[in-house]
Amino acid sequence: MTAEAIDKAAAAPASDANRLRSILAGSAGNLVESFDWFVYAAAALYFAKVFFPAGDQTAQLLNTAAVFGVGFLARPVGAWLMGLYGDRIGRRAAMIASVAMMCFGSLMIAVCPGYAQIGVAAPAILVFARILQGISMGGEYGTSATYLSEMAGRAHRGFWSGIFYSTLIAGQLLALGVLVAFTKLLSPADMQAFGWRLPFAFGGLLAIAVFWLRRGMDETPSFQARKGPRATTLRLLVSHPRESLTVIGLTAGGTLGYYTYTTYIQKFLVNTSGFSKDQANAITAGALAVFMLVQPLVGSLSDRVGRRWILIGFGVLGTLLTWPILSTLSTTREVWPAFALVTGATLIVSAYSSVNAVVKAELFPTEVRALGVALPYSIANAIFGGGAEYAALGFKQAGHETWFFTYVTVVIAASLLVYLTMRDTRRHSRILED
């Protein structure tokens, strides 16, 4: 067989069965990694005083939010390392490595003694575990988004991008659901004493299962057919500065909106609106379930009307409605109106979340795609997504909670400018293989 024939065979579209099996295997890993990442935020209301016993509830949550943010600061490191690894060695290999690190981090938190037992070593171990998980999550997003975009057919990439984000939300929803289940099975005292550890142990065991599942995945035709120069960080920054800045710009408002309405909102409902922990969990879980279900629908719509128009929809609605939604929610005391407001907010965010994975992948050529998707995204995610809870709680502690509403609005408006000026990646995709 000639070299040309080998190249054509490598670049040939995967069979429908292999494509579906590989996408589902990758998606299962996304779900588990998302579970392990978000169970920290879901359980923070219970373990905050275990690691940070001093201060009132807001001060304790502020400390756990800071550790949550530290994990986000590690995500660009993971994106850089795993992005290079994914572009040089393979998407599949990077995805296997990332889930292994996430597993180890979750199990560390599950067995870590509290402040009362080992003093300052307890929060130090917590920080280390979150850094490890941050490296894993930073690498997971870029390589799995790249993998899915390359495995999906041209006509349905938006749909599969929606599926991709549905699995991330499913992991977050599962984290919340598992926590709710344990709160029903255990007394509040038991939850405070040891119950919060069980979801971390559960997530670690799930990650072990996914590790073995991913070992059977196929590599993408795009990676097998790559011909460009070896991926380097300098090559990405020098050859693709506009695309990298576009990823940062389009991510900033989207990730801030996402973490505001899917992660911080649970604490907002308790700490500001006055709902009980159980009510806040139920409201958040219901909104996340709706959010999860609409992702493939909005993603599929982008296959018809284009990615850019979907992103513009998020930018316009997010800019106009963020302040009214959050300010109204702060004075809402009934469960169903609160559920409607949170669900409406997540539906707005779905216009970003459903397509953002494929948009980023379509901006870059094969040889730097995993790094190009992961690194700029993780930088923006660390700053705006990881800092969402800390900023919100900081404004609240300072007595200016509404300043956070303005902050979210301004950042989404800035991203809207990017959406208005960027090209539609559906028409100008750099993923050549179908």
Place of tokens 């069980």: 198
pLDDT of 14: 54
Whether residue 268 lies inside any domain: the answer is: yes
Given a contact cutoff of 8 angstroms between Cβ atoms, the answer to whether 142 and 83 are in contact is yes
Rounded CA separation 147/304 (Å): 22
Angle between helices 307-330 and 356-363 (to 10 degrees): 140
Tokens representing 427 are 């028409």
pLDDT of 336: 96
Whether residue 322 lies inside any domain: the answer is: yes
Decide if pLDDT at 64 tops 80: no
Whether residue 40 lies inside any domain: the answer is: yes
233-237, 347-351, 363-367, range with greatest mean pLDDT: 347-351
Rounded CA separation 332/201 (Å): 35
pLDDT of 287: 95
pLDDT in tens, 158-189: 998 998 889 888 988 888 788 878 888 988 88
SS3 track for the chain? CCHHHHHHHHHCCCCHHHHHHHHHHHHHHHHHHHHHHHHHHHHHHHHHHHHCCCCCHHHHHHHHHHHHHHHHHHHHHHHHHHHHHHHHCCHHHHHHHHHHHHHHHHHHHHHCCCHHHHCCHHHHHHHHHHHHHHHHHHHHHHHHHHHHHHHCCHHHHHHHHHHHHHHHHHHHHHHHHHHHHHHHHCCHHHHHHHHCHHHHHHHHHHHHHHHHHHCCCCCCHHHHCCCCCCCCHHHHHHHCHHHHHHHHHHHHHHHHHHHHHHHHHHHHHHHHHCCCHHHHHHHHHHHHHHHHHHHHHHHHHHHHHCHHHHHHHHHHHHHHHHHHHHHHHHCCCCHHHHHHHHHHHHHHHHHHHCCHHHHHHHHCCHHHHHHHHHHHHHHHHHHHHCCHHHHHHHHHHCCCCHHHHHHHHHHHHHHHHHHHHCCCCCCCCCCCCC
pLDDT of 1: 36
pLDDT of 2: 38
pLDDT of 351: 97
Decide if pLDDT at 391 tops 50: yes
Gap between the terminal Cα atoms of the chain: 23
pLDDT of 434: 61
- Written as one letter, the residue type at 355 is V
pLDDT in tens, 20-38: 777 777 778 888 888 888 8
Sign of CA dihedral 278, 279, 280, 281: positive
pLDDT in tens, 263-278: 899 889 999 999 998 8
Per-residue pLDDT band for 148 (boundaries 50, 70, 90) equals: confident
Question: Which segment of 16-20, 25-29, 109-113 scores lowest on mean pLDDT?
Answer: 16-20
* Selection from 107, 142, 119, 122 nearest residue 36 by Cα: 107
Of the chain, the percentage scoring pLDDT greater than 70 comes to 94
* Selection from 180, 189, 185 nearest residue 49 by Cα: 189
Whether residue 108 lies inside any domain: the answer is: yes
106-120, 126-140, 360-374, range with greatest mean pLDDT: 360-374
Of residues 333 and 66, the one with the higher pLDDT is 333
Sign of CA dihedral 216, 83, 86, 370: positive
* Selection from 362, 91, 363, 368 nearest residue 229 by Cα: 368
Whether residue 434 lies inside any domain: the answer is: no
Whether residue 433 lies inside any domain: the answer is: no
pLDDT of 175: 83
Rounded CA separation 229/367 (Å): 7
Average pLDDT, integer, range 213-223: 82
Q: Which residue range forms the structural domain that includes residue 244?
A: 13-215+231-421
Angle between helices 157-185 and 356-363 (to 10 degrees): 140
pLDDT of 137: 86
Per-residue pLDDT band for 66 (boundaries 50, 70, 90) equals: confident
Whether residue 198 lies inside any domain: the answer is: yes
Rounded CA separation 356/249 (Å): 12
CATH number for 33: 1.20.1250.20
In this prediction the pTM is 0.82
Rounded CA separation 13/430 (Å): 16
Count of domains for the chain: 1
Decide if pLDDT at 155 tops 50: yes
Sign of CA dihedral 138, 107, 61, 285: positive
pLDDT of 57: 66
Phi, psi of 88 (to 5 degrees): -95, -45
Question: Which segment of 2-6, 42-46, 141-145 scores lowest on mean pLDDT?
Answer: 2-6
Mean predicted lDDT score pLDDT of the chain:
87
Average pLDDT, integer, range 126-143: 87
Of residues 196 and 306, the one with the higher pLDDT is 306
Whether residue 432 lies inside any domain: the answer is: no
